[in-house]
Structure 1
Amino acid sequence: MTMLSHDCHVSLYRIIWESGEGSVQAFALESTRDSARRFFEAAIALIVGRPADDLELYNLYSYRDLVDNGVSEDEDLRVFEVGSRGDVVTGWAKKPLFLTTDPTLVGKWAELQAEIAALAAQEAIRRVGG
């Protein structure tokens, strides 16, 4: 099982970007919340070719914020939670934008996707009586 790097634990930030095609969860490593906000604004504006003032960005959270507010047993998975009810995750990041080269973050997301796919397959087999 992949564990997020020390860099992620101390420098990871996530922001939600409302694109014309739905919510995108963007991730980056930055030293402070202010530098993370500036980085996200500049990088996403460059990607979409629009001024930062035209972007709908919200919910800038640090790794610690995400862990403290999440419910997953695996604390590192909490960075990908986008909804929960009680102690059950009701939504996961579906369109992540990784603005970092940290391989542990991408690896953790890939593990989550494999787990979600396995659960969906098990549910499908259960429904058809397997």
Structure 2
Amino acid sequence: MTTLSNDCRTSLYRIIWESGEGSVQAFALESRRETARRFFQAAIALIAGRPADDLELCNLYSFRDLVDNGVSEDEELRVFEIGSRGELVTAWVNKPLFLTTDPTLVGKWAELQVQLAAQAAQDVIRRVGGGR
């Protein structure tokens, strides 16, 4: 099981980029919120090939914000939550853009993908088995 690095716990930020193909959740490590905002604007403008002023960026959250507002039992998975109802996560990051070389963040996201795939497989097995 992957544990997020101390760098992630102290410096991780996530922003939502509303691109032409839907929402993209971008992650980066920065020392301060305003520095993170400027970094996301510059990096995503370069990726999109558009001026930063033309980008639709919203919901800049720090690691602490994401943990405090999330509901997952595993607090570190809360950085990947994008929707919940009560204590149930209704949506997870599905288009991540990792603008960091921290391997623990990618590892944690990969673990989440394995869990979601296993859950989907169990749901299919349950539906097929229940139809007998």
What TM-score do you get using the length of structure 1 for normalisation? 0.99
Matching of residue 117 in structure 1 with residue 109 in structure 2: no
Q: Superposition RMSD on alpha carbons, in Å?
A: 0.7
Unpaired segments of 5 or more residues in structure 1?
A: none
Which residue is equivalent to 1:25? 25
Deviations 1:33-57 (A, max 9, x none): 0000000000000001000000000
Matching of residue 56 in structure 1 with residue 56 in structure 2: yes
Structure 1: how far apart are the matches of 2:127 and 2:87? 25
Deviations 1:3-55 (A, max 9, x none): 10000000000000000010000000000000000000000000010000000
The size of the alignment, in residue pairs, is: 130
Structure 2: how far apart are the matches of 1:120 and 1:72? 18
Report SS of the residue matched to 1:123.
Answer: helix
Structure 2: how far apart are the matches of 1:18 and 1:122? 32
Could you tell me how far 1:82 is from its partner in structure 2?
A: 0.1
Report SS of the residue matched to 1:128.
Answer: helix
Could you tell me how far 1:125 is from its partner in structure 2?
A: 0.7
Alignment of 1:80-119 (within 5 A): 80-119=80-119
Q: Percent identity?
A: 82
What TM-score do you get using the length of structure 2 for normalisation? 0.97
Q: What letter corresponds to residue 122 of structure 1 in structure 2? A: Q
Could you tell me how far 1:88 is from its partner in structure 2?
A: 0.6
Structure 1: how far apart are the matches of 2:46 and 2:128? 47
Report SS of the residue matched to 1:129.
Answer: helix
Unpaired segments of 5 or more residues in structure 2?
A: none
Alignment of 1:64-79 (within 5 A): 64-79=64-79
